[in-house]
Structure 1
Amino acid sequence: MHIGILTLSISLPGCRSLKEKRQRMGGLHERFGRHPAVAVCESGELDRLEASEWTFVAVATSGPKVEALLAEIEDKVQRGVDGRVLAATRELL
């Protein structure tokens, strides 16, 4: 088994409430948490309204499959979140 970790730092300019922050993040946990090979959590910037950090852990039978899954997640987040991805870090275990 191969494991990959993707951490995304997201800027949410102009966000004024926790409710707005949840709406702008677009239900990342529900969307990606349904995939049987992916675990997802909001891992940082919990107290800041204008920023969010999310970590995704993917498991697959090969390294390229993990990389493809993480690339797909990153692409969907960049297109589906009302914010800007400032940083994306990947780690393969």
Structure 2
Amino acid sequence: MHIAILTITFSLPGCGSLKEKRQRIGGMHERFGRTPSVAVCESGEHDRHDASEWSFVVVATTKREVESQCSQIEDKIQRTVEARMIKVTRELL
């Protein structure tokens, strides 16, 4: 069993309220949390309007599968989320 924690910090330029932040970043649970091998949560920057941090825990039988799933998450976020990814970290356990 292999586990990775993927943490992504976002910048939300021009975001003026927590409601707008939820609209721009919202849907992370629906997009990624439905996959049985992925757990997702907002892990930081809860009270800031212009930033957000999300963590994804990915579990798979091989390291290669874990890394592939992390890459797929990053790619999908870049295509679908209205924010700039400013920091991405991966921690393999």
Q: Percent identity of the aligned residues?
A: 67
**Using the alignment, how far apart are the partners of 2:11 and 2:24 within structure 1?**
11
Question: What does residue 17 of structure 2 align with?
Answer: 17
List, as ranges, runs of 4+ consecutive aligned residues in structure 1 with deviation greater than 3 Å: none
**Using the alignment, how far apart are the partners of 1:81 and 1:90 within structure 2?**
19
Superposed CA RMSD in Å reads: 0.7
Question: What does residue 56 of structure 1 align with?
Answer: 56
Aligned residues: 93
TM-score normalised by structure 1 residue count: 0.97
**Using the alignment, how far apart are the partners of 1:84 and 1:52 within structure 2?**
10
Name the aligned partner's letter for residue 73 of structure 1.
I
**Paired residues for 1:30-41 under 5 Å:** 30-41=30-41
Q: Compare 34-43 and 18-27 and name the one that shifted more.
A: 18-27
1:69 maps onto 2:48 in alignment: no
Question: What does residue 90 of structure 1 align with?
Answer: 90
The CA deviation at 1:26 is 3.8
Other structure's SS at 2:91 match: strand
Question: What does residue 8 of structure 2 align with?
Answer: 8
Name the aligned partner's letter for residue 52 of structure 2.
S
Structure 1: tracts of 5 or more residues without a match: none
Question: What does residue 29 of structure 2 align with?
Answer: 29
Q: Deviations over 1:29-71 (max 9, x none)?
A: 1210100000000000001000000000000000000000000
Structure 2: tracts of 5 or more residues without a match: none
